[in-house]
């Protein structure tokens, strides 16, 4: 019998012989990043038993690229992190468009979130790219 050491299954599921049937997250930082990404990409109503869980970044798909949209998303991220991942300290939320980064297509927005885990002295960035109309 193998000694399997890991905290959670890495998503998306990938086969890996070293951990058993699936590759595992082996440190708290990668588990937090995975859970944070799930929070951002889950649409409200999509998670069983938690109908208000999720930021729903895919909802940006048909929203205009504007400060009104970015302010609403910013507020939603902060509210959801406070409610479901309160151990995360948000440092900054940045929306990058083709105006600030000419390499991006006109209909693409990158959301870059810098955060830390407080007492653990762990800092990281999460970057999600979304297409908009």
Number of domains in the chain: 1
Residue 2 lies inside a defined structural domain of this protein: no
DSSP letter, residue 43 = P
Residue 60 lies inside a defined structural domain of this protein: yes
pLDDT digits (tens, 9 = 90+) for 8-45: 888 888 887 787 788 888 888 899 999 999 999 999 99
pLDDT digits (tens, 9 = 90+) for 45-84: 999 999 999 999 887 777 888 999 999 999 999 999 999 9
Contacts of 35 (CB under 8 A, 6+ apart): 85
Task: Please give the pLDDT value at position 3.
Answer: 58
Residue 43 lies inside a defined structural domain of this protein: yes
Interhelix angle 67-84/28-41, nearest 10 degrees: 130
pLDDT digits (tens, 9 = 90+) for 96-127: 999 999 999 888 899 999 999 977 778 899 99
Residue 1 lies inside a defined structural domain of this protein: no
> What are the φ and ψ backbone dihedral angles of 94, each rounded to 5 degrees?
-120, 135
Per-residue pLDDT band for 1 (boundaries 50, 70, 90) equals very low
Per-residue pLDDT band for 133 (boundaries 50, 70, 90) equals very low
Three-state DSSP state, 35: helix
Residue 85 lies inside a defined structural domain of this protein: yes
Residue 3 lies inside a defined structural domain of this protein: no
| Full residue range of the structural domain in which residue 108 is found | 8-131
Task: Please give the pLDDT value at position 21.
Answer: 84
Task: Please give the pLDDT value at position 75.
Answer: 97
CATH number where 121 lies: 3.10.450.40
């Amino acid at each position: 019998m193998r000694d399997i050491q890991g905290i959670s299954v890495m998503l998306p599921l990938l086969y890996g012989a070293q951990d058993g049937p699936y590759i595992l997250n082996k440190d708290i930082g990668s588990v937090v990043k995975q859970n944070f990404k799930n929070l951002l990409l889950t649409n409200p109503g999509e998670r069983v038993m938690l109908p208000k869980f999720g930021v729903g970044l895919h909802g940006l798909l048909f929203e205009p690229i504007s400060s009104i949209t970015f302010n609403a998303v910013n507020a939603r991220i902060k509210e959801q992190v406070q409610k479901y991942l309160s151990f995360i300290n948000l440092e900054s939320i940045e929306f990058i468009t083709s105006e600030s980064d000419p390499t991006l297509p006109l209909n693409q927005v990158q959301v870059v979130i810098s955060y830390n885990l407080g007492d653990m002295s762990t800092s990281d960035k999460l970057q999600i790219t979304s297409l908009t109309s």
